[in-house]
A = this chain, B = another copy of it.
Amino acid sequence: MNEFSLIDVFFKKPALARDDVLFGIGDDAACLRVAPGQDLLVSTDTLVAGVHFLNDWDAFDIAWRAVMVNVSDMAAMAATPCWLSLALTLPDNNETWLTRFAEGLHAALQLYNIALIGGDTTRGPLSITMTVHGTVPEGGAVRRRGAQCGDTIWVSGDLGAAALAVSLLTGSDMDSADQSILMNKLKRPRARLDLLPILRSYATAALDISDGLSADLNHLCQASALGACLSLDAIPVHPLLKKHRPDQALDLALSGGDDYELCFTTASADKARLLAELADMGLSCYPIGNMVKEPGLHTASGLLTPRGYSHFQD
């Protein structure tokens, strides 16, 4: 099977019908129509074998995770994801692997009505780069820099489970039910697109905390030229961390990435109304502190050093 039949068999087939895709795979570029009054949001993420996933993972999970990593960036901007390009570099032409990869890819895309519009397949060490395109009403993108002094800081869900799962990849004696819950958090994350209406109505700033809450919240603080005062008791730590790693639980929740939850800020006057609205929607988000003038991450026990994942550490 050569490059062209590979694309036909695995990627062209179950193309989602979207009116705004004039044409997709099969020309030198895809042609898309952005609706009038919408801004276009674009984000790219690469997943490298051995760094962002392990070679022995089910290719379904690798594809699923790659989509979610990208879509999470759209959620963080309050954008609706529409179209995705896939650049797939493969060491060989393993059809079993490709079948599972395509299944995971299409399952994840279908969940959010995202069309696969094209990409590239090349030979080389296994690596996946996706570029996701989304739209937001003109001027409606939520950025990192919009937080105001006094704003409430929110986290969209329990943290630390994916970080604990990463630590289990090298072996563990945990019971298999708990282990499978944790692995599922790592391998099958869900981007928080369910928060779009909330973010569009309330958020003054937002970002994806895939590098870890403390590192990413620090980026939001720097972009907004403010600091954060956090109540460590309010950080939503995943219950299995408290059960299996009580000593490291808070630290994993603060610095472990990969959960694909969001952190956002809202005017403090909106807090009660937002809590009520979240309850109506059956969603849990957690207020964890407030934006303050002094730079840095402040807690009752002193300044918190932002820690998280960064490639190319010295």
- Residues of A whose CB lies within 8 Å of any CB of B are 1-4, 6, 22-23, 26-34, 36, 39-52, 72-74, 76-77, 79, 83, 85-87, 89-90, 93, 117-125, 127, 129, 131, 133-134, 136, 138, 141, 143-145, 207-208, 223, 310-314
Contact = CB atoms under 8 A, between A and B. Distances in A.
Q: Which 5 A-B pairs have the closest CB atoms?
A: A48-B124, A29-B43, A129-B129, A125-B125, A28-B73
Contacts of A129: 44, 46, 87, 120, 129
A36 B39 contact: no
A261 to B, nearest CB: 13
A32 B42 contact: yes
Contacts of A3: 310-312
A28 B77 contact: yes
Contacts of A141: 22-23, 27, 29, 31
A119 B129 CA distance: 10
Contacts of A120: 44-46, 129
A35 to B, nearest CB: 10
Given A28-B77, A42-B32, A123 B22 contact: no
A103 B144 CA distance: 29
Nearest to A5: B312
Given A6-B312, A123-B51, A314-B1, A42 B27 contact: no
B45 A40 contact: no
Contacts of A28: 43, 72-73, 76-77, 144, 207-208
30 contacts: A1-B314, A22-B39, A23-B143, A26-B144, A27-B143, A27-B144, A27-B223, A28-B73, A29-B42, A29-B74, A29-B79, A30-B41, A30-B42, A30-B43, A31-B40, A32-B39, A32-B42, A34-B34, A42-B83, A43-B118, A44-B86, A44-B118, A44-B129, A44-B131, A45-B87, A47-B122, A48-B122, A87-B87, A89-B127, A121-B311
